[in-house]
Amino acid sequence: MTRVLSTRRIAFWIAVALVFAGLPLIFKQSFALSMLSQMGIAVIFALSYNMLLGQTGLLSFGHAVYFGLGAFFCAHALNFIGAGTFWFPVTLVPLIGGVAGLLFGLLLGFVTTRRAGTPFAMISLGIAEMVAASALMFTTFFGGEGGISTNRQVGKGVLGLTYGPQIQVYYLIAGWCLVTMIAMFALTRTPLGRMANAVRDNPERAKFVGYNPTRVRWFMMALASFFAGIGGGLAAINYEIVTAETLGLVASGNVVLMAFIGGIGHFWGPIIGAVLVTLLQSALSNYTQAWLLYFGLFFLVIIMFSPGGIANLIALHKPVWNAGLTKRLLPSYAMSAAAGAVMLAGFFALIEMIYHYEAKETSSKAFSYFGLELDPTSAGYWVGAAVVMAIGLVLVFGAKKFVSRAWEDITPEMQRQGVI
Amino acid sequence: MAAPALQLHDVRKSFGRTAIINGVNLAIEAGERHAIIGPNGAGKSTLFNLISGRFGVSSGRIELHGGIISGLEPEVINRKGLARSFQITNIFPRMSVYENVRCAVLWSQGYRYSFWHRVDALESVRERTEGIVELIGMTKRRERMAGVLTYAEQRALEIGVTIAGGANVVLLDEPTAGMSRSETDEAVDLIRKVTEGRTLVMVEHDMGVVFDLADRISVLVYGEIIATGTPEEIRANEAVKEAYLGTEEH
C-alpha cells in the first residue's frame, strides 16, 4: 500500500499557485512586478541555502558561488541561443543553471564537505573568495568588471512566450519558484533529507547506523547548489546581466541573513526571510540612506531576541491560536507596538540627523521627517529626539511586563487544553 | 565449523606511547551473549571502539563472521551487520523517537542516500520501525523529541537505534549505567528480548546484570584478557578474584 499525498497538502500547494498567479493582479505597477520577480528568485536561493544550514547543519559563507555560476552559464546559454548556435526553450534555461550549480556543487562540495562545523564555514569562505577572484581574472567567461550582458528575447517564442514583458518573466519565475519549492519540501521527506537532519544532529551516530556523514553532506550540498543554480538562471533572465557581484561574498552573506531572519529551524522560515529582506532592501533604500544600518540592526535584534527567526515567533503562537486565546495576547501586543513605535521614532530621528549632518548639502541641513522639519544644526532637535527615544525605551520595558503577564495568564489554560 | 561471529587476533592499541590494549585474543560464537568485565581503565570501551571501527587498531586483526573488519570505516562495519550502543547516550536529540529508529532502519532496507523515495510511504521501513518502537516499549511516546526523554527512556531508545538495522552482532556499552534497580531490571528484560537470536557483546559494571545475562564472560585487566569462561568458571577463577572480583564478593 502506498499512501497518496494528503489532500490537505495538495490543496495547500494549489493555494500557493493561486497566490502566485494572483499577485500581479493586485500589484500592477512595474516596480512592484520587478520586486515580486526579485522575491521569487530570493525565495529559491534562500530555501536552497537552508538545505545546507537548517537541514544539514552546514553554515556556508559561499552559497552565492553556485547561484552566480548558474547565472553565468545561463547568460552564456541565452547568448548562444540568440546567436543561433543551438536551440533551447528559454523557459527551461534555468535548468542549465541548475545543472551548472549541481556540477560545481559536486566538484567544490567534494572538498568542502569533508569537514563540518567551523572548518566547513571557513573552507566555504575560502572557496567563495577564490571563485570571486577568478571571476575578475577569467574575463572571457565572467566578463570582467562589466559582467556578461544577455538578451532573454531569443529563439522562437513558444506559445507566444517571448519573455519581453516583465509580466511573462514574473510568471516564469513564479512557476519555477513553485516547482522548486515543492521539490525542496519533498526532499525533506526522503531518506536523504531525513539523514541530513540526523547528520546535523549527530554525525557520529549516523556512522553507526550505516551512513557516511561526509557523503550525506556532499549530496545535500550538490542538491542545494542545483536549486541555487536554478535561482541564478532566473536572475540572468530577469536582469539580463550577470556580474561578478552575483557570486560575490556580499551575495553569499545576504542569503545567510535571509535564512536567519526568516528562521532556519522551519522549512518556511527562509521564504519569510527572503521576502522581507528583498522588501527592505528595495523599499527602505528609497526612503533613507541609512537603510543598511537599519537592516543590520534589524538582523541584530532578530538574532538577539528571537534566535529562531520570524518563523519561530510564528510557531510560538500556533498553540495560542489553536487554543483560541490569541485575543488575550493582543492588548499587550498593541501596547508593545505603540511603545516600540515611539522608541523607534526617536531612534530613527537621531540616526537621520547624524546622516544629514554629515551630508554635503551647502544651504540647509534641515530635512523632512514624517512631515516634521528636523534641523540637525540645532541642539533642540537632538534633545527632543533623544527624549522621545528615552520615553519609548521606558514604555517598551513597561509593555514587556504586560506581554509576559499575558503569557503567564494563558499558559495554564493552554496546558489544560493540552495544546502545549 | 563456521567461523566465530566475532574474532580478535592479537589486537593492540596504543595512544602515543601508552598501550591501552595489549594483545587481545577473543572468539565469540554466533548466538552467544558475552560480557566483558574489568576494572575502570582496563580498556573495555577502547576495545569496543576498535571493534566498531571508531578507532583503528595499532596491530592485530578483527574478523566478523570470518571477514576482516579492522581498518574499515564504522559505517562499513555497520553495514556488514555489527551495531553498537554507547556508554554516553548517543542519539539524534532533535528528532522524534520514531525518526531516530527510522534513521537506523533506512540503510538496512536498501534506501541508502535516496532522494527519490518518499520516506513516509516506505512500507517495509514503517513496519520495521514500528516494530522496534514497540519492542522498546515506546509506542506511546513515539512522537516525543528524543532530547526531552527521561534518562532510562533515552537508554532504551539507544538500544532500539542500535538493533534497528538488524545487525546480528550487537555491542552494548554499559547499557544499565546510571539506572535505578527497577530500571535496570527492565533494561535486562529488554536486552534479553532484543538480542534474541543475535550475538551480544556487552561491557557492564553491574555484576547482577552480567551473571544474569551472559553465557560467557571475559575479564579484561590492563588491556589483556586474563580469563574467559562461563559465569561459574569466572566466579571460581583465582586470578579474576584477585584482580577484580575480590572486592565485589562478600
The half-sphere exposure of A331 on its side-chain side, counting CA atoms within 13 A, is 8
**b/e sequence B125-151, b meaning 16+ C-beta within 10 Å:** bbebbbebbebbebeebbeeebeebee
Closest CA to B142 of B108, B89, B101: B101
Average pLDDT over residues B25-41: 94
User: What was the pLDDT predicted at B18?
Assistant: 92
At A337, phi and psi to the nearest 5? Answer: -60, -45
Inter-residue contact A94 to A176 (CB < 8 Å): yes
Q: Residue B123 above 90 pLDDT?
A: yes
Q: In Å, how far from its chain's centre is CA A92?
A: 23
Q: Do A191 and B111 touch (CB under 8 A)?
A: yes
What is the dihedral sign for C-alpha B88, B90, B94, B97? negative
Q: Residue B1 above 80 pLDDT?
A: no
At B173, phi and psi to the nearest 5? Answer: -100, 105
Using an 8 Å CB-CB cutoff, list chain B residues near A209.
78, 83, 103-104, 106-107, 161, 164-165
At B138-148, the pLDDT tens digits run 999 999 999 99
User: What was the pLDDT predicted at A154?
Assistant: 86
Using an 8 Å CB-CB cutoff, list chain A residues near B93.
201-202
- Grid coordinates standing for A307? 534566535
User: What was the pLDDT predicted at A418?
Assistant: 79
Of B167 and A162, more confident? B167
At B14, phi and psi to the nearest 5? Answer: -125, 145
Cα–Cα distances in Å, from A378 out to A346, A355, A357, B71, B75? Answer: 16, 14, 10, 77, 71
Inter-residue contact A393 to A296 (CB < 8 Å): no
User: What was the pLDDT predicted at A3?
Assistant: 52
The rounded distance, in Å, linking the Cα atoms of A323 and B78 is 46
Using an 8 Å CB-CB cutoff, list chain A residues near B92.
197-198, 201-202, 205
At B225, phi and psi to the nearest 5? Answer: -90, 115
- Grid coordinates standing for A306? 528571537
- Grid coordinates standing for B88? 554516553
Note down pLDDT in tens along chain A; length 420 residues: 345 568 899 999 999 999 999 999 999 888 899 999 999 999 999 999 999 999 999 999 999 999 999 999 999 999 999 998 888 999 999 999 999 999 999 999 999 999 999 999 999 999 999 999 999 999 999 999 899 999 999 877 677 788 989 999 999 999 999 999 999 999 999 999 999 999 999 999 999 999 999 999 999 999 999 999 999 999 999 999 999 999 999 999 999 999 999 999 999 999 999 999 999 988 888 888 888 899 999 999 999 999 999 999 999 999 999 889 999 999 999 999 999 999 999 999 999 998 888 877 666 778 888 888 888 888 999 999 999 999 999 999 999 999 999 999 999 988 888 777
What type of residue is B152?
A
Q: In sequence order, what DSSP letters do the residues of A281-321 get, joined into one string?
A: IIIIHHH-TTHHHHHHHHHHHHHHH-TTHHHHHHHHHHHHH
Q: Residue B72 above 70 pLDDT?
A: yes
Closest CA to B171 of B56, B63, B73, B87: B87
Average pLDDT over residues B55-66: 96
Closest CA to A390 of A356, A350, A353: A350
Residue among A190, A192, A210 whose CB faces B79 most closely: A210
Q: Residue B248 above 60 pLDDT?
A: no
A312 touches chain B (CB under 8 A): no
Inter-residue contact B58 to B12 (CB < 8 Å): yes
What type of residue is A359?
A
Q: Do A210 and B164 touch (CB under 8 A)?
A: no
Using an 8 Å CB-CB cutoff, list chain B residues near A215.
113
Using an 8 Å CB-CB cutoff, list chain A residues near B161.
205, 209
Residue B122: closest C-alpha in chain A: A2
At B75-113, the pLDDT tens digits run 999 999 999 999 998 999 999 999 999 999 999 999 999
- Grid coordinates standing for B77? 562495519
Q: Do B91 and A202 touch (CB under 8 A)?
A: yes
User: Going along A169-249, which residue ranges are E strands?
Assistant: 241-242
* Other residues' Cβ atoms within 10 Å of the Cβ of residue A338: 14
Q: Which residue in this structure is represented by grid cell 532556519?
A: A264
What type of residue is A259?
A
- Average pLDDT, rounded, for chain B: 93
Residue among B107, B115, B164 whose CB faces A193 most closely: B115
The rounded distance, in Å, linking the Cα atoms of A37 and A34 is 5
A167 touches chain B (CB under 8 A): no
* Other residues' Cβ atoms within 10 Å of the Cβ of residue A410: 17
Q: Which residues, in sequence order, are CB contacts of B220 under 8 Å at separation 6+?
A: B24, B36, B37, B38, B42, B43, B44, B47, B226
DSSP A161: B
At A258-296, the pLDDT tens digits run 999 999 999 999 999 999 999 998 888 888 888 889 999
At B182-233, the pLDDT tens digits run 999 999 999 999 999 999 999 998 999 999 999 999 999 999 999 999 999 9
User: What was the pLDDT predicted at A364?
Assistant: 73
What type of residue is A273?
G
Residue A209: closest C-alpha in chain B: B104
Diameter over CA atoms, chain A: 79
Provide the phi-psi class of A29: left if phi over 0, else alpha when psi is between -120 and 50, else beta: beta
In residues, how long is chain A? Answer: 420
User: What was the pLDDT predicted at A139?
Assistant: 92
User: What was the pLDDT predicted at B113?
Assistant: 96
Task: Tell me the nearest-neighbour CA distance from B246 into chain A, angstroms.
Answer: 36
User: What was the pLDDT predicted at B250?
Assistant: 43
Q: Residue B245 above 60 pLDDT?
A: no
> Where does the pLDDT of residue B2 fall: very low under 50, low under 70, confident under 90, or very high at 90 and above?
confident
SS3 A105: helix
The rounded distance, in Å, linking the Cα atoms of B35 and B210 is 6
Q: Residue B246 above 60 pLDDT?
A: no
The rounded distance, in Å, linking the Cα atoms of B91 and B157 is 8
At A418, phi and psi to the nearest 5? Answer: 75, 20
Inter-residue contact A49 to A212 (CB < 8 Å): no
A207 touches chain B (CB under 8 A): yes
Strand-pair partners of B22? B12
H-helix or E-strand containing B6?
strand B6-15
Strand-pair partners of B227? B219
Q: Which residues, in sequence order, are CB contacts of A191 under 8 Å at separation 6+?
A: B106, B111, B112, B113, B114, B115, B117, B119, B122
